[in-house]
Amino acid sequence: MARKLSKKSVASAETKKTEVKAAPKAEVKTEVETAVKAEPKKDKAEAAKTAAKTVAKTAVKAAKSTASTAKTGAKKTAARRSSSRGYKSEVIIQRSDFEVTSSGLVDEVKEIWTKEMGNLVRDLKDVKVYVNTEEAMAYYVINGEVNGSFAL
C-alpha cells in the first residue's frame, strides 16, 4: 500500500535532487539518513527506500547528462576543425594539354621540399605557386627564400 507524500516532503526531495548531482558517495548516504529522519510518519525502511530511489535516479540522470555533454563537445570540436571556412573550394587550371588543381600544385611542392631537398613538412611556413600556362610551368617560392620550378 503506497502512501502519498506531503507537499513538504516533496519539496525537500526536490531540493535534495539538486544537491545530489554534485555530491560524492559519502554525502549521498548522509542525505538518505536525513530524509529518513525527516519522515517520522513513514516507517524507516520505506522512507529509506524512497530516499535511496530518488538519490539513485538523480545520480543516473547526472551521469547521463555529463556523458552526453562530453560527446557533444567532442563532435563540435571535430566539426570546427574539419570545416574551418564552412565550405570547400578548389581552383582548377585547364589548358588543352594539361589540367592541374591548386591542391595538386601545393602537393607537388611539398614532395619536392621533402624528397628532393630532404626537409620536413613541418618546416614549411609559406608556399607560393605561380602558374605560367603559356610555358606549361609552375614556379614556387618556399618560406620566401627557396625557389624553383617544375613542368605541368
Three-state secondary structure call for residue 151: strand
pTM reported for the whole predicted model? 0.44
Does residue 125 contact residue 111 with C-beta atoms inside 8 Å?
A: no
Residue 145: DSSP 8-state: T
Sign of the C-alpha dihedral, residues 113, 117, 120, 123?
Answer: negative
Residue 144 pLDDT greater than 50, yes or no? yes
Q: Is the dihedral of CA 36, 38, 42, 47 positive or negative?
A: negative
Q: What are 82-130's pLDDT values in tens digits?
A: 556 688 888 999 988 889 999 999 999 999 999 999 999 999 999 999 9
Beta bridge partners of 29: none
Cell numbers describing residue 133:
600556362
- DSSP structure class, residue 42: S
pLDDT in tens, 51-61: 666 766 676 66
Confidence of residue 20 (pLDDT cuts 50, 70, 90): very low
Torsion sign (Cα): 119, 120, 121, 123: negative
For residues 11-32, average pLDDT: 54
| Best-predicted range by mean pLDDT (24-33, 54-63, 83-92, 131-140) | 131-140
